[in-house]
């Protein structure tokens, strides 16, 4: 319990009228977030992070920009992560149950991407599902991201179920959410097989979130930092990549393998569609930045 000094006149100090808290209901537009968080409490998330030299990704993005195409960091991370997780079916998996839990491993890699949107005027986090990212080209992934980025969740048919759920009372809303995610067979189509959140639009380096999947990636900003290559001091664009894993499904050593392989894929990034041209723009080790 905290203590507080009395007011100057010896009377208990109270809040001035203008400083009193105002209690309001949680906006209906955010109810789905509370429902998800209640469901996700059953997980056992553990957190890892690493730093990624983004020189190859930056070179690829610049080459795409010169060609008149948009290529975001998130698209590059999804492209790399999808291919890595396809090689790790134990991590591209989901779990259900407590007393007699069962794990499902999936042959396809679906990404659940967090979106910062406005729903009925209220700022909310929504999620977009990108299917088959392990076989999608970088351009296809970027096109999908643009569709979701530009869309209006007040009108998009993909969010009709969410809008309906928000009008439900709590018990019914919780039941609807559980029904959507309880089936391991349907889970890839409702939750994805891994999740990704990016706060790179702000000066945020590291953060850790859990998206309800075995693997959740957190993408921070890319900034120019000092690096040493072959004993030579230079600079390079560096990004902190964060990973949360559900310890019920995989262990730390396996999660570290996944994170390392995604890091390596980004540091040697090439999109087969460009024939490796962007990668050839990277500096040789010890040759400084970019």
Alpha helices in 73-112 (DSSP H): 73-86
Token readout for 245 is: 């894993």
Compute the average pLDDT of residues 253-281.
78
Q: Give the span between the Cα atoms of 217 and 245, in whole angstroms.
A: 9
Structure confidence by residue, pLDDT tens digits, 49-64? 999 999 999 999 999 9
Structure confidence by residue, pLDDT tens digits, 184-198? 999 999 999 999 999
Burial of 18 per CB tally in 10 Å (0-12, 13-18, 19+): exposed
Q: Does 177 have pLDDT greater than 50?
A: yes
pLDDT at 59: 96
Q: Does 88 have pLDDT greater than 50?
A: yes
Compute the average pLDDT of residues 147-156.
94
Structure confidence by residue, pLDDT tens digits, 89-147? 999 999 998 889 999 999 999 999 999 999 989 999 999 999 999 999 999 999 999 99
* Average pLDDT score over the chain: 87
Compute the average pLDDT of residues 5-26.
71
Query: In sequence order, which residues have a C-beta less than 8 Å from that of residue 281 and are 6 or more positions away?
Result: 59, 62, 63
pLDDT at 166: 76
- The alpha carbon of 248 is separated from its chain's Cα centroid by a whole number of angstroms, namely 20
Q: Does 12 have pLDDT greater than 70?
A: no
pLDDT at 248: 96
pLDDT at 111: 98
pTM for the full predicted model: 0.84
Q: Give the span between the Cα atoms of 241 and 23, in whole angstroms.
A: 37
Say if CB 242 and CB 206 are below 8 A apart.
yes
Q: How far is CA 79 from CA 25, 161, 265, 272, in A?
A: 40, 28, 9, 11
Say if CB 70 and CB 149 are below 8 A apart.
no
pLDDT level of residue 165 (50, 70, 90 thresholds): confident
Q: Give the span between the Cα atoms of 259 and 250, in whole angstroms.
A: 13
Say if CB 87 and CB 261 are below 8 A apart.
yes
pLDDT at 164: 83
Beta bridge partners of 220: none
pLDDT at 172: 77
CATH fold group of domain 27-280: Chloramphenicol Acetyltransferase (3.30.559)
pLDDT at 13: 61
Q: Does 69 have pLDDT greater than 90?
A: yes
Compute the average pLDDT of residues 149-175.
84
Per domain, the residue ranges of the chain are 27-280
């Amino acid at each position: 319990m905290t203590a507080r000094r009395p007011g100057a006149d010896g009377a208990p100090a109270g809040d001035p009228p203008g400083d009193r808290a105002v209690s309001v209901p949680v906006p209906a537009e955010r109810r789905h977030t509370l429902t998800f968080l209640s469901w996700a409490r059953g997980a056992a998330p553990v957190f890892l992070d690493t730093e990624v030299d983004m020189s190859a990704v930056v070179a690829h993005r610049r080459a795409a920009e010169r060609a008149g195409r948009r290529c975001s960091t998130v698209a590059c991370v999804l492209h790399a992560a999808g291919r890595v997780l396809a090689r790790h079916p134990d991590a591209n998996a989901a779990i259900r149950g407590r007393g007699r839990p069962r794990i499902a491993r999936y042959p396809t890699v679906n990404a659940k991407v967090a979106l910062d949107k406005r729903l009925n005027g209220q700022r909310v986090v929504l999620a977009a599902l990108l299917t088959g990212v392990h076989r999608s080209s970088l351009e296809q992934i970027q096109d999908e991201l643009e569709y979701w980025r530009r869309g209006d969740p007040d009108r998009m048919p993909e969010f009709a179920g969410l809008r309906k759920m928000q009008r439900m009372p709590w018990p019914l809303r919780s039941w609807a959410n559980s029904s959507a995610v309880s089936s391991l067979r349907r889970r890839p189509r409702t939750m994805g097989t891994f999740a990704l959140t990016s706060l790179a639009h702000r000066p945020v380096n590291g953060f850790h979130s859990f998206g309800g999947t075995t693997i959740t990636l957190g993408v921070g900003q890319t900034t120019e930092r000092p690096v040493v290559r072959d004993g030579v001091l230079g600079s390079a664009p560096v990004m902190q990549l964060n990973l949360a894993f559900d310890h019920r499904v995989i262990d730390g050593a396996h999660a570290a393998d996944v994170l390392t392989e995604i890091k390596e894929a980004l540091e040697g990034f090439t999109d087969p569609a460009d024939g490796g041209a962007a990668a050839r723009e990277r500096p040789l080790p010890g040759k400084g930045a970019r």
